[in-house]
Amino acid sequence: MSVINQRFDAIVIGAGPAGSTAAYQLAKMGYKTLLLERGRTPGSKNMFGGRVYLQPLKDIYDDFEKKAPIHRWVKKERISFIDNENSTTIEYESTKTTSFTTYLTQLSGWMANQAVNQGAILLTEIRVDKLYRENNVFKGVVVEDEVVNADVVIDAEGINRLLLEEANLVEKLKPNQVALGVKEVIKLDSNLINQLFGLDNNDGLSWVFIGNLTNGIPGGAFLYTNRDSISLGIVLMLEEAIRKLDKHIYKLVEEFRIHPLINKYLKEGRIMEYSTHLIPEDINSLKPRKLYYDGLLIVGDAAGLLLNQGYTYRGVDFAAYSGYLAAKAYDYAHNNGGPTSDNLSKYEELLRNSFIYRMLNKFSGVTELMKKERLFNTYPALINELASRLMHIDYDSYKIMEAFKEVKKGRISWLTLIKDLWEVSRKI
Amino acid sequence: MSTKVEEKKIQRIEDILNNDVWDVDYEPHIKVDYNKCRECKWKPCIRLCPAECYTLVGDEVLFSYEGCLECGTCRVVCPENAVEWSYPKSGRGIHYRFS
């Protein structure tokens, strides 16, 4: 491993969206950058729901829209309240778009490639065993008992922070800090997808489900259209899942797939892949005390930088942008005497002035709100029963308020209802 | 290999996992202390490991690392700290292609 004997300006651990983007930006600014990935290819250990928000990536990569592996532009959004037999849906459709679907495995690979094109060295099948430090200054990484030196280390190891734990910078994850996402990718002909969901060529659908698909556990379900496949999966808050899940978690995904209101879309489909990942939830407790140390910056999931907005997650754009800012912070430190903790605190400043901290602060109450079980059990059932009373007509039919009073009875008081409405409208 | 999903019934987890690709390491990257599992009342790993790497044989937990998807859930949910968890070595383990 001759590369390993060289000295680098920066070593980036992990070629996911955060790490690859950091490496891309560092190499672009002329820094000698080593990007290390434990998988066989960049992206091979990555998994997400299915949708990426565009704007932050456009700021980072030139011609992103033309060159990146984009499957479909999301122009149709659905939010459904669902139970065993009914669903009530809000649909939004537009000729404009701000997000796209893709496989993160592909997008990370593409980003790592951009880093390589800028001159970064990418080594795959390299598992970093330890952060290397001398006198409390991070000076590189340890790979199979060999030390690789660098001026700065950028930790993009992801949500399972083995390296940061070993360095005593974070504690072991706790169930109340994360959610668990499990998904199936189902092969489906691209024209059939367009027909089934009423989409034009490269237009995509993002579909979120709230209701009893999660076994009464706080969380949700999602369906995204890719170019010629469907991603469908569920997300469960892990702490609540430990207490309440009464069957194997994969069964929830399968029950979702065979749900009569979903399965009709998937009749011709074949499962291509089954994947899973932990999702940062409680950002306040997940975020390391500091994201900058002497010779070290922390980005992406490892830094807890992911936004749960209630009806959507923003992970990839947050991760990539944090990597981008970390590279900028290193540039600043390099030009001001070196990557000391003081100089690298520039990263914190850049985050504070960016949409990342702005949004994390704005939506800080969402995870707590999402843990309210009424939101997943009572309200979806109430909405569906109300719709059912109004729509199913034999002889007598209902007036709206009459139907509402009937379905509300025994379920929820006016006071709770108004309090919940107030909370939802304040926090989301 | 892919599993046809026409049938409106729940597939077996083995059949679903059959669609994934691994390069399995010779040595397990996760070690489980079964003595601690015997003390464990809840055994949340059984239901929550998405790859069903943890199964019950009688009252005993049995762990196999081969189908691990490296999500880290078992490590987080284990109430007894029985899971010694790391990533597989260089290039081994799950290889996602469409996720």
Q: pLDDT tens for residues B69-89?
A: 999 999 999 999 999 999 999
Using an 8 Å CB-CB cutoff, list chain A residues near B90. Answer: 38, 125-127
Question: Which pLDDT belongs to residue B24?
Answer: 95
Is residue A40 one of the residues assigned to a domain? yes
Domain count across chain A: 3
Q: State how far the Cα of B41 lies from the Cα of A420, in Å rounded to an integer.
A: 36
Q: Which residues contact A114 (CB under 8 A, 6 or more apart)?
A: A20, A24, A61
Q: Could you tell me which chain A residue has the CA closest to the CA of B94? A: A45
| Cβ <8 Å between A46 and B20 | no
The answer on A131 and A8 residing in a single domain is yes
The answer on A209 and A116 residing in a single domain is no
**B69 to chain A, closest Cα gap in Å:** 7
Write out pLDDT tens, residues A251-303.
999 999 999 999 999 988 999 999 999 999 999 999 999 999 999 999 999 99
Give the burial class of A135: count Cβ atoms within 10 A of its Cβ; 0-12 exposed, 13-18 middle, 19 or more buried: exposed
The answer on A343 and A406 residing in a single domain is no
**Can you list the residues of chain B whose pLDDT is less than 50?**
none
* Nearest-CB residue to A270 (from B2, B47, B76): B2
Which residue segment(s) compose the domain that A138 sits in?
Answer: 3-50+104-170+288-353
The answer on A257 and A300 residing in a single domain is no
Identify whether the C-beta of residue A58 lies closer than 8 Å to the C-beta of residue A188.
no
**Can you list the residues of chain A whose pLDDT is less than 70?**
1-4
The answer on A109 and A9 residing in a single domain is yes
| Cβ <8 Å between A249 and B2 | no
Residue A42's nearest CA partner among A92, A106, A120, A103 is A106
| Cβ <8 Å between A249 and B48 | yes
Using an 8 Å CB-CB cutoff, list chain A residues near B53. Answer: none
Fold entry, domain B28-94:
Alpha-Beta Plaits (3.30.70)
| Cβ <8 Å between A273 and B76 | no
| Cβ <8 Å between A273 and B19 | yes
Tokens of A220: 């949700």
| Cβ <8 Å between B98 and A160 | no
Q: Could you tell me which chain A residue has the CA closest to the CA of B96? A: A44
The answer on A212 and A186 residing in a single domain is yes
The answer on A305 and A237 residing in a single domain is no
| Cβ <8 Å between A271 and B77 | no
The answer on A267 and A198 residing in a single domain is yes
The answer on A244 and A319 residing in a single domain is no
Is residue A60 one of the residues assigned to a domain? no
Is residue A69 one of the residues assigned to a domain? no
Is residue A240 one of the residues assigned to a domain? yes
How many other CB atoms are there within 10 angstroms of residue A117's CB atom? Answer: 11
- Alpha carbons within 13 angstroms on the beta-carbon side of residue A367 total 24
The answer on A121 and A244 residing in a single domain is no
Is residue A80 one of the residues assigned to a domain? no
| Cβ <8 Å between B11 and A43 | no
Q: How many CB pairs under 8 A join A and B?
A: 154
**Sign for the pseudo-dihedral over CA of B14, B17, B22, B25:** negative
Residue environment code for A282-303, b if the CB has 16+ CB neighbours within 10 A, otherwise e: bbeebbbeebbbbbbbbbbbbb
Q: State how far the Cα of A331 lies from the Cα of A28, in Å rounded to an integer.
A: 11
Mutate to test the interface with A, among B5, B56, B84 (most CBs of A within 10 A): B5
Out of A254, A280, A306, pick the residue that ends a domain. Answer: A280
Out of A280, A296, A317, pick the residue that ends a domain. Answer: A280
Q: Within an 8 Å CB–CB cutoff, is residue B99 touching chain A?
A: yes
pTM equals 0.96
Question: Which pLDDT belongs to residue A1?
Answer: 46
